[in-house]
Amino acid sequence: MLSFNVVIAISLCYVAILFMVAFMAERRAMMGNATWLYSPLIYTLSLSIYCTAWTFYGAVGYAARSGLEFATIYLGPTLMMIGWWWILRKLVRIGRAQRITSIADLVSSRFGKSTSLGMIVTVISVVAATPYIALQLQSVTLSFAVFAQSNGHVWRDAELNATAMWVSVGLVIFTVIFGTRNLDANERHHGIVMAIAVEAVVKLVALLAVGVFVVWGVAGGPSEMLTRIDASPITLWDHNGGRWISLLFLSAAAFICLPRMFQVLVVENADERHLAIASWAFPAYLMLMSLFVVPIAVVGLDLLPTGSNPDLFVLTVPLSQGRDGLAMLSFLGGFSSATSMVMVATIALATMVSNHIVVPIWLSMRPNQQAVMSGDIRHVILLARRLSIAAVLFLGFIYYRVSGGGTALAAIGLVSFSGAVQILPAMIGGIFWRGATRIGAAAGLIVGLTLWLWTLFLPSFGADALISQSVFDNGPFGLSWLRPQALFGISGLDPLVHGILWSMILNTGTFIIGSLVSFPTPLERLQGAQFVNIFEHSAAAPAWTNAAAGAEDLLIMAQRIMGSTDAQAIFEREATRQGKKGYLPEVTPAFIELLERELAGSVGAATAHAMVGQLIGGSGVSVEDLIAVADEAAQILEYSNRLEAKSTEQEQTARALRDANAKLTALSIQKDAFLSQISHELRTPMTSIRSFSDILRDGEVGGDAQKRYSGIIHDEAIRLTRLLDDLLDLSVLENGQVMLNEQTGSLSALLDRAIGGAGLLGSNLKIVRTPEVDDVTITTDLDRLVQVFINLIANSRKYCDARHPRLKISVFDRGSHFYIDFVDNGSGIAADNQQLIFEKFSRVADGSKAGGAGLGLAICREIMRRLGGDITYLPGQYGTAFRLRLPKKKLKNTLGEL
């Protein structure tokens, strides 16, 4: 007999293995060499979270109680998968195009990025998922108890509760670690998905093993098994047609409405084509899972004493035959089913709670731009997600305690399913019917939720628990037409069929009528057209016009949400696409649209829209903008898209020509200007030198004045020399062949050297460094690099106007390059001047203060070019910021030719 401690130890080992698997998948994905993570096989296996502990243990119990009805739970998703072309494909396409993060986000986004709809769907999802999570906790707890009891010790409630609590705590930890690593909910959770795939295999193998044992080990072969089945009472159940149809509908609808299924089907989908393979592979998986359900149920009923819980046959049948190893495997299968479901469900729900409830409330408490510009939104969201994960599991635990763990597994599962499918009308209507409106969706959802709570959820606790027996019999306040299981006086129906029928009919009816009588806002129409016609045109009409926000403000906001690396990458890519240098693109409506979609991947459509709106100043889409999309056929749209593409092309050619022309003109003007600049820079110190040397020669002054004037002559002569040096240096760098003296050295030591050489003595500039990061070895022309460092540090010393000037030097390893950022806390450089500062003689501040000729940054730029890297101004840092990019590989040739 397995001792209970051995069971605990094996479970912990199993969790540790899962942890390793998740961790390694996460690592591999981060290093970018994990294409197998995106395979259709992993996708199909991840869908198996549909098969929870309810399916693993409960299906057998279901079969033992109600015969073949259990098969509907497998048939529903099978129908949905086989018909994937019509619904699933559309959902996945929309999910990817709109960067949808959850089912709440889908509904909210479709109906004009509505915050309130997001909240309603989130509430429905959380309430509906709570019993289901409780169910998983219950099944894990019961399976632990089986082992304890088989050792002759019967668990008391306290021990059951403690086990359930420890399981919840463990799940919270695992989920927080692997589920909230990325803020971008639209990004895939590789670790979790991999762990789920492993668990999918374990539970299938476990169930098949028990099945094979039952058929060949206990019954003695397939034909004997069939005889036993014929003789068993299972086949005697009369089949209720209404229940069959209801259950088929319920499981098919729940398959796409459950937040966790939406998460794996749509959000974690890496490639639309995976659906095609999953459309037969997943039904095959379900078929295997259901293959031995009836045999196990029949044998269980035969072998075990009457009154034993059929929900645990999968575990108790092997145990009763002394097959400890098999029982252990079966236990791990059940454990896998429960944990994988809970992890994905809590991630999905936590994303919804944080994006649709916490962040909107947090934003509404800060009603101006400050909200999106300051404070670290990332931290707020991540914290919200982590707390939500804990809260969702805690709710499940509470439900488990309150419901007493007594109800049959299958019954709880069905109640939960029927709650989730209340979202179905709004979702399906949203993606197929352009006339659907927010008002209609909200009204339908609320009616559906209310009816579900009244007819199914509250009664699920049993009579006299939350609803007294008299209400069941006579209705509330004696209103008999409101009896929870006989609404409008129609009694005699199965309670489940009754609840589903009424809630779905009234939900759908309200949704349709509400949509017909209300008028959609422009944004709703726009989103509606994009959702319904997702296959006809992917280019969207701009939802923003007359954008007034500065690119830099948008960048600051994006950095707060996505982190600086990702945000800068998006801005840089767009700037490059527009043919601009640096990080700041033109703020076009198309760019705002793109940015909003990227942000939506982190915080959901409604919140992203609200945040962008706060910066842009509410100049959202107008009715006129919509004329193009509002009511025409798809062809017109496609035509106009093509037209747009063509005019973009023409515009690009024209721009290229204009640029070339401007460059030529500028070149000759530049040459002129350059010469007269040089003249000015040389003549100015010479003027002082000549005047004061005249004065000294005349011999009229003596003493202090004489000393002072010769001092001026000296300083000006040095200024002149330095200027000539710089000019020579620059001219060689720009035109000549530069001998690069390639050496290998420590970046950290180079920075030390530069800080020493930047003349900081007597200045109060404070240098902040990250020595643990900048301690890397580089191979390049070290002296030239130090020259650049010195220039940047000296610039900060001269220009940083903060009361306590501080310069932060940070080093990043970015694969093929090192990034070295110099960011000070001064007032920064205005966007207009950010490109200009690299030009020769361009001083933004006035010359006398700078004491240089304005060649420093031009020289830096040339040096970095020679070293194979570059220097750019880094906007959005609240100060002056430069980024050096230095290639890791050796220089191609030491002459540094360009």
> Which spans of this chain sit near other proteins (rule: CB under 8 A)?
676, 679-684, 686-692, 694-695, 698, 700, 712, 716, 846-848
Give, as one character, the DSSP assignment of residue 842: -
Minimum Å gap between C-beta 803 and other proteins is 24
Per-residue tokens: 346: 């809590």
Minimum Å gap between C-beta 684 and other proteins is 5
> Please, which residue, 816 or 848, has the CB nearer to other proteins?
848
Per-residue tokens: 775: 């301690």
Minimum Å gap between C-beta 893 and other proteins is 40
If we measure between CA atoms, which residue out of 422, 418, 402 comes closest to residue 410? 418
Minimum Å gap between C-beta 693 and other proteins is 10
Given a contact cutoff of 8 angstroms between Cβ atoms, the answer to whether 320 and 89 are in contact is no
Instruction: Quote the Cα angle for 730-734-740, to 5°.
Output: 85
CA distance 667 to 326: 83
Q: In what helix (H) or strand (E) does residue 870 lie, and over which residues does it extend? A: strand 870-873
Minimum Å gap between C-beta 858 and other proteins is 19
Per-residue tokens: 449: 């939720």
CA distance 125 to 134: 14
Minimum Å gap between C-beta 681 and other proteins is 8
If we measure between CA atoms, which residue out of 90, 100, 97, 93 comes closest to residue 121? 100
Minimum Å gap between C-beta 713 and other proteins is 9
> Please, which residue, 714 or 890, has the CB nearer to other proteins?
714
Per-residue tokens: 389: 């994960």
> Please, which residue, 715 or 729, has the CB nearer to other proteins?
715
If we measure between CA atoms, which residue out of 720, 719, 695 comes closest to residue 707? 695
Which ranges of 467-604 would DSSP assign to H, the alpha helix?
A: 469-474, 495-517, 522-532, 551-562, 564-577, 589-603
Minimum Å gap between C-beta 672 and other proteins is 8
Minimum Å gap between C-beta 723 and other proteins is 13
Per-residue tokens: 312: 């645990």
> Please, which residue, 156 or 697, has the CB nearer to other proteins?
697
Q: State whether residue 742 is helix, strand or coil.
A: strand
Which ranges of 183-322 would DSSP assign to H, the alpha helix?
A: 190-212, 222-231, 241-257, 259-262, 274-291, 293-303, 313-320
Q: How far is CA 42 from the centre of its chain?
A: 19
> Please, which residue, 182 or 688, has the CB nearer to other proteins?
688
Q: State whether residue 822 is helix, strand or coil.
A: strand
> Please, which residue, 684 or 835, has the CB nearer to other proteins?
684
CA distance 487 to 504: 13
- 811 — alpha (psi -120 to 50), left (phi > 0) or beta? beta
What's the longest Cα–Cα distance across the chain?
Answer: 132
Burial of 177 (0-12, 13-18, 19+ CB in 10 A): middle
Q: What share of the chain is helix, strand, coil (3-state, %, to 5)?
A: 70, 5, 25
> Please, which residue, 661 or 721, has the CB nearer to other proteins?
721
> Please, which residue, 647 or 687, has the CB nearer to other proteins?
687
Other CB atoms within 10 Å distance of the CB of residue 20: 11
Backbone angles phi, psi at 451, to 5 degrees: -65, -40
Q: State whether residue 127 is helix, strand or coil.
A: helix
Minimum Å gap between C-beta 857 and other proteins is 20
What is the identity of the amino acid at 484? P
> Please, which residue, 458 or 712, has the CB nearer to other proteins?
712
Minimum Å gap between C-beta 842 and other proteins is 14
Q: Which residues have CB under 8 Å from 457's CB, separation 6+? A: 127, 131, 415, 419
Minimum Å gap between C-beta 730 and other proteins is 20
> Please, which residue, 238 or 698, has the CB nearer to other proteins?
698
> Please, which residue, 690 or 814, has the CB nearer to other proteins?
690
Q: State whether residue 467 is helix, strand or coil.
A: strand
> Please, which residue, 716 or 774, has the CB nearer to other proteins?
716
Minimum Å gap between C-beta 187 and other proteins is 51
> Please, which residue, 2 or 695, has the CB nearer to other proteins?
695
